[in-house]
């Protein structure tokens, strides 16, 4: 959940802009997962294959608690509940004064996780589901994953946890997104996060896995008109059902300035191999701004990396908006006859929200 933000409100529709005084720590405590989702962004070659020990997790949490003022932390994987000591990390984050604590999960909730934490220490459990039906979801995430996710949501809601759901939209599941508001209301989910597919991890190599010589962007991603025609309407429908809904502002309005979260917000994406990124689009490349190193006193030190890294890219100003988008997925930009872009692509961390 992105809380490094200020809200510009028109009715119940808000553009969530960046707020420098807020900080988010996206903490990947492992990269292992029991599923193999087609659009998974984890890249073990770049992110590592190790599971962090509880002591290392505690120490790294302390580093960011000291660096940032009351940051929010989101525990991620892989599947974070595969870590047998995730519950300890949740309690440690609360002890260190983190403003909010969230766990993102595929719903399997390993190691009896729900019995080891309580709603007073864990603000949200965020479930990932990529279809309103088992047939669509399981084609993306794996056989049986829909049923396990539904079961996990039921268990969390029954114990009084706040729950949210992440739906990563692609051409595979776009036709079912209109069904999600009714399903979420039935399940008792209170927040809905719609994500856009990105060319990272598995989705970047999807063509090689499923169709030789196919363009992965064309296979999975949507055109501008598809996004604009479908996503805001679904978000509004969900909000009218009492479910606050957030989705990326992919395309900037005419004349709207581009802001890069890497320059104006405090977001840190931490991986088990010690890499710390500021931009999620950079995660498939060794462009990380920081690396966790061990200091002379054997305590971890957040250390800046040498140039060139992602921070150098944040300072580039191009007509297309996001530099990394232009570099790794230029297919979602259209140009006019004079060569100028028809629109700007917003920062991937810029959100729009329909409140309740």
pLDDT score of 317: 94
Of residues 331 and 36, more confidently modeled: 36
Average pLDDT over residues 12-27: 85
pTM of the model: 0.91
pLDDT score of 212: 42
pLDDT score of 219: 62
Q: Residue 105, preceding bond cis, omega within 30 degrees?
A: no
Q: How does residue 3 score in pLDDT terms, banded at 50, 70 and 90? A: very low
Q: What is the pLDDT of residues 227-284, one digit of tens each?
A: 999 999 999 999 999 999 999 999 998 889 999 999 989 999 999 999 999 999 999 9
Query: Which residues neighbour 161 within 8 Å (Cβ) at sequence distance 6 or greater?
Result: 114, 119, 122, 124, 125
Tokens of 16: 């969530």
pLDDT score of 16: 79
On the question of pLDDT at 2 being above 50, the answer is: no
pLDDT score of 198: 65
Q: What is the pLDDT of residues 54-73, one digit of tens each?
A: 999 999 999 999 999 899 99
Of residues 284 and 12, more confidently modeled: 284
Average pLDDT over residues 312-337: 92
Domain that holds residue 336: 5-354
Q: Alpha carbon 186 to chain centroid distance? A: 24
On the question of pLDDT at 301 being above 80, the answer is: yes
pLDDT score of 330: 87
Number of domains in the chain: 1
pLDDT score of 194: 97
Q: How does residue 331 score in pLDDT terms, banded at 50, 70 and 90? A: confident
The percentage of the chain sitting over the pLDDT mark of 90, rounded to a whole number, equals 78
In the predicted model, what is the mean pLDDT of the chain?
A: 90
CATH number at residue 316: 3.20.20.70
Q: How does residue 20 score in pLDDT terms, banded at 50, 70 and 90? A: confident
3-state SS track over the chain: CCCCEEEEEECCEEEEEECCCCEEEEEECCCCCCCCCCCCCCCHHHHCCCCCCHHHHHHHHHHHHHHCCCCEEEEECCCHHHCCCHHHHHHHHHHCCCCEEEEEECCCCCCCHHHCCCCCCCCEEEEECCCCCHHHHHHHHCCCHHHHHHHHHHHHHHCCCCEEEEEEECCCCHHHHHHHHHHHHHHCCCEEEEEECCCCHHHHCHHHHHCCCCCHHHHHCCCHHHHHHHHHHHHHHHHHCCCEEEEECCECCCCCCCCCHHHHCEEEEECCCCEEECCHHHCCCCCCCEEEEECCCCCEEEEECCCCCHHHHHCCCECCECHHHHHHCHHHCCECCCCCECCCECCCCCEEEECC
Q: Which of 38-42, 146-150, 158-162 has the lowest average pLDDT?
A: 38-42
Q: How does residue 217 score in pLDDT terms, banded at 50, 70 and 90? A: very low
Average pLDDT over residues 134-147: 97
pLDDT score of 21: 74
pLDDT score of 12: 80
Of residues 131 and 334, more confidently modeled: 131
Q: How does residue 184 score in pLDDT terms, banded at 50, 70 and 90? A: very high
Q: Which of 18-27, 43-52, 156-165 has the lowest average pLDDT?
A: 18-27
The percentage of the chain sitting over the pLDDT mark of 70, rounded to a whole number, equals 91
Average pLDDT over residues 159-184: 96
């Amino acid at each position: 959940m992105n809380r490094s933000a200020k809200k510009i409100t028109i009715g119940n529709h808000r553009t969530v802009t960046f707020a420098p005084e807020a900080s988010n720590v996206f903490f990947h405590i492992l990269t292992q997962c029991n599923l193999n989702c087609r659009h998974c962004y984890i890249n073990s070659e770049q992110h590592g294959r190790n599971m962090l020990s509880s002591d290392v997790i505690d120490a790294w949490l302390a580093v960011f608690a000291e660096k940032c003022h009351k940051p929010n932390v989101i525990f991620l994987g892989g599947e974070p509940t595969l870590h047998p000591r995730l519950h300890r990390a949740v309690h440690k984050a609360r002890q260190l004064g983190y403003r909010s604590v969230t766990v993102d999960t595929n719903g399997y909730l390993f190691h009896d996780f729900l019995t080891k934490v309580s709603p007073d220490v864990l603000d949200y459990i965020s479930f990932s589901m990529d279809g309103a039906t088992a047939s669509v979801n399981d084609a993306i995430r794996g056989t049986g994953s829909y049923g396990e996710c539904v079961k996990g949501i039921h268990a969390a809601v029954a114990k009084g946890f706040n729950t949210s759901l992440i739906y990563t939209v692609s051409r595979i599941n776009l036709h079912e997104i209109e069904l999600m508001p009714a399903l979420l209301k039935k399940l008792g989910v209170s927040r809905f996060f719609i994500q856009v597919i990105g060319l990272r991890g598995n989705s970047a190599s999807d063509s090689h896995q499923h169709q030789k010589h196919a363009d992965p962007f064309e296979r999975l991603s949507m055109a501008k008109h598809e996004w604009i025609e479908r996503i805001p309407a679904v978000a509004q429908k969900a909000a009218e059902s009492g479910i606050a809904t957030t989705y990326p502002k992919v395309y900037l309005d005419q004349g709207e300035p581009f802001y890069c979260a890497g320059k104006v917000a405090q977001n840190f994406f931490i991986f088990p191999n010690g890499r710390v990124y500021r931009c999620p689009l950079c995660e498939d490349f060794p462009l990380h701004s920081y690396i966790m190193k061990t200091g002379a006193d054997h305590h971890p030190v957040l250390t800046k990396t040498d140039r060139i890294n992602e921070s150098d890219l944040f300072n580039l100003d191009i007509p297309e908006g996001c530099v990394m988008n232009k570099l790794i997925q230029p297919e979602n930009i259209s140009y006019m006859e004079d060569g100028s872009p028809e629109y700007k692509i917003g920062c991937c961390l810029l959100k729009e929200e329909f409140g309740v």
